[in-house]
Structure 1
Amino acid sequence: MSEAVDYTVAVRTLCDFTAKQGDLDLRFTPSPSAEEGMEGHARVASRRASHYQCEVALSGVYWSAAGRGLRVRGRADGFDPQRGRLEEIKTHRGDLTRQPENHRHLHWAQLRLYGWLLCEERGLDELELALVYFDIARQVETPLVERLDRDTLRHFFEAQCAAFLDWALQETAHRGARDSALETLRFPHASWQGEQRMLAENVYKAASTGRALLAQAPTGTGKTLGTLFPMLKAMPTQRLDGLCYLAAKTPGRQLALDALKPVVETTPLRVLELTARDKACEHPDLACHGESCPLAAGFFDKLPDARRALIADGDWDRAHLRDTALAHDVCPYYLGQEMARWSDVTVGDYHYYFASGGLLHLLAQANDWRLGVLVDEAHNLVERARDMYSASLDQGDLRALIREKPAGVSAALKQLNREWNSLGRECVNEHTALERVPEAWLAALQRLVGTIGQVAAEPPYTLSPALQRFYFDALKTVRIAELFDRHFICDIAMRAGHRGMRHARLSLRNIVPAPLLTPRFQAAHASVLFSATLTPERYQRDLLGLPKDSVWLDVASPFSKEQLSVHIAQHISTRFRDREASLAPIADLIATTYTRRPGNYLAFFSSFAYLEDVAARLRETHPDVPQWQQARGMDETARADFLARFTPDGCGVGFAVLGGAFGEGIDLPGDRLIGAFIATLGLPQVNPVNEQRRRYLQAMFGAGYDYAYVYPGVQKVIQAAGRVIRSREDRGTIHLIDDRFAEPRIQALLPSWWHVTQNVEAPTRSRSALNSTGC
């Protein structure tokens, strides 16, 4: 029979499809981290004899009566040829009797599939199968053993494959139809937008050569479609299994979804939007298991029908996912997680690919996918990656838990507190930098994590909300400590706490995420990172860890200098010591500009306090200028209401924080926004942490001040300014308010197409002039 199989599937994926049953149940937690899982596997293997074989690669083919072939492949954890024993190792914490039966069922299915593949490959008549559960806290193995003959294993293998084959054939047909449609896909607009075609051509070259591309393209280039379209065209020729479109904020993801809608309407393309759990959860007050949440009850039994319903329509955005999930009585969030296996384009946050447990990266590794990765607003990736790989713990939270006296945990809490007190006595300053993670403190934290894990896995199986929050923070801290090397810093900050006691906050901060991101770029077939603010190139390469053969592209602006007037108010200083003196001249500048050309403006400031002070001064001295303000902690509705004030016929000034929700990713074309005031250079605050970062970056790259302060600040300025000119018909004004904007080294970082003029002093206008604006 021909070896041209129709579909290839990993053992884990096959079992996830055919052997998952019953409730969605996350109570058997906390599960070990990926690092702990690998360590657990290594520990078990180290206990085996020298002839023991680890990571045994296996592959076999199932042929249906109709001659359709399904190749199944994977890696078994270990095989002892002398005992004839095949092992599947699963790490865990706590009481195994609490493990849901459907978890055990899935694990046995995986092991039996590996068993048949091994029997077939090595001509074995029977095999001992051992499901080895390894408790990482107690370092104890619990083996569950069965002995099965060749025919029993073959029948099991064939039953699983037969259950999956129809879906596999459907997926094969979908892939063929998708690729055929993409080969003939035409650009959805009548013409390309300025330099958009040049951007698209370079993206296609990157996809065709399997390289990374770092593309700086100004606002208005049409980056979303200019990167998506060529990557879609490359999918058939490069045999890409899927695309990941990753964005830092909701507006960026929505732009991608909007750009893909015309393609979904005319092709079989499937587009999935991944939404954060806290936004997708229908019952945030309920636990994720069938006895608590109705959408978790029988989740895997209902999943096939929900999955089939979605497959009929390729637009899997948040609203469609929710409607389908509720129609089938399943959880929308976990339905989205399941559908990530079958989507062609997945749109989501950075962490789905770049975080240590990123769903898309894990699926790609498990299934040997060839992925194209698009990173929108990539100037955010440095800071977001730092956050992903940083952790902090506060001693005040620990002491509050000690006062709660949680059963079974108090002794471990007090031991950690003693180690923390010892550190605190050594810290005479409010902020103390440490060369490494304190060993005794970390050991005490690891013991506490193990203790809480044991308590959580035993009756009554509950933790108080405060203990659970601390536990998850502690888990992350332990995991980051495992990664800690010269690219991290450790520090302790002291502050006053309960009854005047000093509390210590210990932080592990990633400074250079490059070594952690490099494997992600290497795993992708091609990566494209794009933004309007990626200058200087060296800064991005040093901190992101891009491959050495990655390509830099600087796309020319589609706009002319005549469209944008850029003025530097060099008579004003926005340095902290000059804030009070700057209030009146900034208010006057805003009022004067508004009077000359009434319309909608954004005014950006370095903090809410600065924003509020200038807004108050403007109300006092120029009450006829309409204004509205960004508030702390605005939800999505409040942010939408803020933006709704920017109507085409509107007049007024919206006050916002630079680098916040309105500093990038918003689109206010035409008369919805005609100007911006940026009253800050955007430099991060000078504090002990940033100074520690500066010294570190100076030692590593010889550019500490620029890397820690200047480049991140100017990026925010350019992003905010990019809100003004959105199309070739737009005209606008930007006021850069600070004398430092006149410095040559700062101007060298500004977009080359800007026409910059310097104002020595801003003219003033009378109230009578303001009253005549007509707005």
Structure 2
Amino acid sequence: MSPPEDYRVAVRALCDFTARSGDLDHRFTPSPSAREGIAGHALVAGRRGDAYEAELTLSGRVEGLTVTGRADGYNPTANRLEEVKTHRGRLDRMAENQRALHWAQVRVYGALLCAERGLGSVTLALVYLEVATGRETVLTETATVEELQAFFTTQCRRFLAWARQEAAHRVRRDAALRRLRFPHASFRTGQRELAEGVYKAAATGRCLLTQAPTGIGKTLGTLFPLLTAMPRQSLDRIAFLTMKTPGRRLALDALVSLGVNARTDDDGEGGARGVNDALPLRVLELVARDKACEYPDRACHGESCPLAAGFYDRLPAAREAAVTQGWLDGEGLREVALAHGVCPYYLGQELARWCDVIVGDVNHYFDANALLHGLAQANGWRFGLLVDEAHNLVARARGMYSTELDQQRLNRLRRFAPEALSRPLARASRQWQALVRESVCQEQGASNYRLLEALPAKLVAAMQQLASAITEHLGEHPEQAGAELQEVLFEALAFCRLAESFGDHSLCDLSCPARGRAVLGLRNLVPADFLTPRFTAAQTVVLFSATLSPADYHRDLLGLPAGSVWQEVDSPFVADQLEVRIRSDISTRMRDRDASIAPIVDELVRQYHQRPGHYLAFFSSFAYLDAVMTRLHEAAPAIPVRAQRRGMPEAERDAFLAGFASGGRSIGFAVLGGAFAEGIDLPGERLIGAFIATLGLPPFDDFNEALKARLEARFGRGDDYAYRVPGLIKVVQAAGRVIRGPEDRGVLVLMDDRFARDEVRSRLPAWWRLPAG
């Protein structure tokens, strides 16, 4: 960050910080796309004549703050400076805070223009262009150079006070980070090696893929070196990104151990910990909107929600209090927000601009419209990323860049949609019917699935037209923006957006899960095409997990940059800690499921009686799980059992885990790859063994066979990348629940004859002592 005597800011960023006022207003207001906005600006400029100066670069300086930007256009003959804004529908539905921002921008540009050209006054014009009709609404005012300069100076001084505060914070932060020490007397086995790899990646600006075993303290072992590198590598922000909520808590706990000023504890002592002084870091936890909302039954605007009313008027004080507090986990952020009467979620979105460490879900950087990526690009941040449990990123990213169209939702909408939408809805419905007729989706059944060789162009075109029609209608009639209409619109927009970038990284399929219902899907297969720009935009990225082998799988599918580094940290555990057995006489293939139930139950009962305690048994499906559990109850009703069920709410998941108390005995049944197969910590006697009755392979269906073919064509590793690697990652993750620390002892029983094959055994952790093949 530049020192305060040479601070720079764009006009838009300056006004966004200083000039917004009034309510937060997130009522649905259809807005033009970026492409429509560019076209709209060109249309206005083309109407203005040869004397018109478009895209006018301007700059000015006040007390050490340099402000730069490009005004949309100036007519020197009329002495009129224009700021062009595109919109859809009724202009009176535009939020007042947006209007305030627009006027501030054109006034700042007016001050810069007058100073540059020696003008005594200028006419300022806000030109609102309705993109559907091309109609202009022009609002004007005439201002003197003195009025504009006074306004400009006021805005600059407001921002400059903040800029100087930010620069002073950066100096304090970096000085403290240069003195940062590891908070414990020594590193755990493997933790120093991990930390050194992270620091080197930051120092060289590379991406690091590091496989580090459970139990060595990966969270602290990655945060500590990246924080140490922040001042030395001039990193502006770092983000710790997780797949699940518990990962965020671990990151926050690690930051407290490093001395970050956490909120006061119950004993009245502050949050500074260990060998470090209080670390002046601003830490923000990003929480999902549905969890952060205080009034989920209210609409998000000032007329409905009290925390939206006057949001921008109270934002400066809330922002100042938040950065002063510094520690902004979910609860800390909520306390600040409610103390100032503002929305916690949108206060968090604002504070992402001003915090040093952001802890949140991976979607905040890797999703198509990710907040952190957008901020990093807009502000030119040198950004450091830590991605926890990175073995899940392939699947998560595939979901981010996949979408569906549901014929049933469209049919429901036709029953009560406004008359103005009847024609585009009918057109889309006809294209749906034609597509279904051409497919195998005639009757309900498992065979009603079809991979399409290409996008159904006519249906895509009809959905584009429908999206445009709904957008234009709601622009004129926002009071009709019901949930069903918005859902269809957002579904159509998402599908059409991904259709524009459709390629060999994705496929299109059609399924009929029920009579009269078809679902058209765009399924991403290779996230690399979307993620590569995200990796290259960051200064350094560290992806870490206990299961990242083989490295090529993640390099290829995630699109890691050339020069990315692979690191494998040796396990601190020894073979004597884990007894591994392979039941090669059991087959868990679908055709052998019924025959496998009895020997699986015999193994569960034998092991439980040999060493009573807590066990987890993993299966490939709930149906398989239920069948084995039923037979176990018949064979050994005295053995306590509990089972995962579909869609367990958080409270039930917590209760399931609480049953694994030290000194108890039970067998817990769970699905491989589910909530209890990774990311849970049951050390010591809380878990002494696991049974895995599956290889974890995805089903051999049309979709996965198409995935295999696509990955074979692109990488030459179809079977490995589609089936074997994802399956064995799940197996090793589940097995990793047993040994969590150096004192743990346990047993692992792998139940399938394929575990005895060399190509499978070679992919299992090297520290396991496998029985002779």
**Common fold, TM-score beyond 0.5?**
yes
Listed one character per residue, the Cα deviations across residues 365-386 of structure 1 (whole Å, up to 9, x for unaligned) are 1211111111111111111111
Kindly indicate whether the alpha-carbon contact (under 8 Å) linking 1:28 and 1:99 is maintained by their aligned counterparts in 2. Answer: no
Instruction: From 331, 346, 359, give the equivalent of 1:347.
Output: 359
Aligned mates of 1:6, 1:284 — CA distance in 2: 44
Instruction: From 556, 570, 575, give the equivalent of 2:570.
Output: 556
Secondary structure at 1:409 match in 2: helix
1:729: Cα distance to partner? 1.3
Q: Does 1:107 align with 2:102?
A: yes
1:620: Cα distance to partner? 1.4
Kindly indicate whether the alpha-carbon contact (under 8 Å) linking 1:10 and 1:367 is maintained by their aligned counterparts in 2. Answer: no
Letter matched to residue 191 of structure 2: Q
Letter matched to residue 400 of structure 2: M
1:132: Cα distance to partner? 4.1
Kindly indicate whether the alpha-carbon contact (under 8 Å) linking 2:4 and 2:164 is maintained by their aligned counterparts in 1. Answer: no
1:10: Cα distance to partner? 3.6
Q: Does 1:425 align with 2:420?
A: no
Aligned mates of 1:92, 1:680 — CA distance in 2: 55
Aligned mates of 1:73, 1:94 — CA distance in 2: 31
Listed one character per residue, the Cα deviations across residues 485-523 of structure 1 (whole Å, up to 9, x for unaligned) are 2322112223433xxx3x321111111111211111121
Listed one character per residue, the Cα deviations across residues 307-356 of structure 1 (whole Å, up to 9, x for unaligned) are 23222322101111122222222211111111111111001111111112
Corresponding position of 1:635: 649
Corresponding position of 1:178: 173
Kindly indicate whether the alpha-carbon contact (under 8 Å) linking 2:28 and 2:478 is maintained by their aligned counterparts in 1. Answer: no
Corresponding position of 1:204: 199
1:137: Cα distance to partner? 4.4
Corresponding position of 1:493: 511
Kindly indicate whether the alpha-carbon contact (under 8 Å) linking 1:33 and 1:479 is maintained by their aligned counterparts in 2. Answer: no
Q: Does 1:507 align with 2:521?
A: yes
Corresponding position of 2:234: 239
Identity score, percent: 59
Corresponding position of 1:269: 281
Distance 1:135 1:565, change over 3 A: farther
The 5-angstrom pairing of residues 220-235 of structure 1 reads 220-235=215-230
Q: Does 1:440 align with 2:458?
A: yes
Distance 1:629 1:77, change over 3 A: farther
Tell which deviates more after alignment, 207-216 or 139-148: 139-148
Q: CA RMSD in A?
A: 2.5
Q: Does 1:391 align with 2:403?
A: yes
Secondary structure at 1:20 match in 2: coil
Secondary structure at 1:94 match in 2: coil
Secondary structure at 2:667 match in 1: strand
Aligned mates of 1:752, 1:561 — CA distance in 2: 9
1:85: Cα distance to partner? 6.1
1:439: Cα distance to partner? 2.2
Instruction: From 596, 603, 607, give the equivalent of 1:589.
Output: 603
1:214: Cα distance to partner? 1.0
Corresponding position of 1:729: 743
Secondary structure at 2:240 match in 1: strand
Listed one character per residue, the Cα deviations across residues 159-197 of structure 1 (whole Å, up to 9, x for unaligned) are 111122222222122111111111101101111011111
Corresponding position of 2:492: 474
Q: Does 1:753 align with 2:733?
A: no
Q: Does 1:370 align with 2:357?
A: no
Secondary structure at 1:278 match in 2: helix
Secondary structure at 1:728 match in 2: coil
Secondary structure at 2:480 match in 1: coil
Distance 1:615 1:301, change over 3 A: same
Listed one character per residue, the Cα deviations across residues 63-105 of structure 1 (whole Å, up to 9, x for unaligned) are 0xxxxx2233445556678887655444433222211222111
Aligned mates of 2:498, 2:577 — CA distance in 1: 48
Aligned mates of 1:605, 1:409 — CA distance in 2: 49
The 5-angstrom pairing of residues 21-170 of structure 1 reads 21-32=21-32, 59-63=59-63, 69-76=64-71, 87-117=82-112, 120=115, 129-138=124-133, 142-146=137-141, 148-170=143-165
Letter matched to residue 454 of structure 1: E
Aligned mates of 1:241, 1:4 — CA distance in 2: 16
Corresponding position of 2:535: 521
Aligned mates of 2:79, 2:326 — CA distance in 1: 47
Letter matched to residue 248 of structure 1: M
1:221: Cα distance to partner? 2.5
Corresponding position of 1:215: 210
Tell which deviates more after alignment, 614-623 or 2-11: 2-11
Corresponding position of 2:634: 620
Kindly indicate whether the alpha-carbon contact (under 8 Å) linking 1:455 and 1:461 is maintained by their aligned counterparts in 2. Answer: no
Secondary structure at 1:5 match in 2: helix
1:118: Cα distance to partner? 5.0
TM-score, scaled relative to structure 1 = 0.91
Corresponding position of 2:711: 697
Tell which deviates more after alignment, 411-420 or 685-694: 685-694
Instruction: From 477, 491, 502, give the equivalent of 1:484.
Output: 502
Kindly indicate whether the alpha-carbon contact (under 8 Å) linking 1:287 and 1:293 is maintained by their aligned counterparts in 2. Answer: yes
Corresponding position of 2:264: none
Aligned mates of 1:399, 1:50 — CA distance in 2: 51
Aligned mates of 1:89, 1:71 — CA distance in 2: 23
Instruction: From 567, 573, 577, give the equivalent of 2:587.
Output: 573
Letter matched to residue 487 of structure 1: H
Kindly indicate whether the alpha-carbon contact (under 8 Å) linking 1:113 and 1:157 is maintained by their aligned counterparts in 2. Answer: yes
Aligned mates of 1:692, 1:47 — CA distance in 2: 52
Letter matched to residue 672 of structure 1: R
Instruction: From 294, 305, 314, give the equivalent of 1:302.
Output: 314
Residue segments in structure 2 that go unaligned for 5+ positions in a row? 261-271, 273-277, 442-447
Q: Does 1:248 align with 2:266?
A: no
Corresponding position of 1:17: 17
Residue segments in structure 1 that go unaligned for 5+ positions in a row? 64-68, 760-775
Aligned mates of 2:604, 2:325 — CA distance in 1: 50
Secondary structure at 1:461 match in 2: helix
Distance 1:91 1:720, change over 3 A: farther
Kindly indicate whether the alpha-carbon contact (under 8 Å) linking 1:9 and 1:367 is maintained by their aligned counterparts in 2. Answer: no
Distance 1:608 1:377, change over 3 A: same
Corresponding position of 1:284: 296
Kindly indicate whether the alpha-carbon contact (under 8 Å) linking 2:613 and 2:664 is maintained by their aligned counterparts in 1. Answer: yes
Distance 1:553 1:90, change over 3 A: farther
Corresponding position of 1:688: 702
Letter matched to residue 256 of structure 1: A
Corresponding position of 1:765: none
Aligned mates of 2:57, 2:577 — CA distance in 1: 61
Kindly indicate whether the alpha-carbon contact (under 8 Å) linking 1:569 and 1:758 is maintained by their aligned counterparts in 2. Answer: no
Letter matched to residue 62 of structure 2: Y
Q: Does 1:324 align with 2:342?
A: no
Instruction: From 480, 486, 492, give the equivalent of 1:462.
Output: 480
Secondary structure at 1:602 match in 2: strand
Letter matched to residue 175 of structure 1: R
Listed one character per residue, the Cα deviations across residues 601-639 of structure 1 (whole Å, up to 9, x for unaligned) are 111111122112212111111112111111211222221
1:138: Cα distance to partner? 4.6
Aligned mates of 1:370, 1:525 — CA distance in 2: 5
Kindly indicate whether the alpha-carbon contact (under 8 Å) linking 1:6 and 1:172 is maintained by their aligned counterparts in 2. Answer: no
Kindly indicate whether the alpha-carbon contact (under 8 Å) linking 1:247 and 1:375 is maintained by their aligned counterparts in 2. Answer: yes
Secondary structure at 1:593 match in 2: helix
Kindly indicate whether the alpha-carbon contact (under 8 Å) linking 2:285 and 2:330 is maintained by their aligned counterparts in 1. Answer: yes
Aligned mates of 2:51, 2:216 — CA distance in 1: 60
Letter matched to residue 158 of structure 1: T
Distance 1:15 1:460, change over 3 A: closer
Listed one character per residue, the Cα deviations across residues 96-117 of structure 1 (whole Å, up to 9, x for unaligned) are 2211222111122233334444
Kindly indicate whether the alpha-carbon contact (under 8 Å) linking 1:374 and 1:528 is maintained by their aligned counterparts in 2. Answer: yes
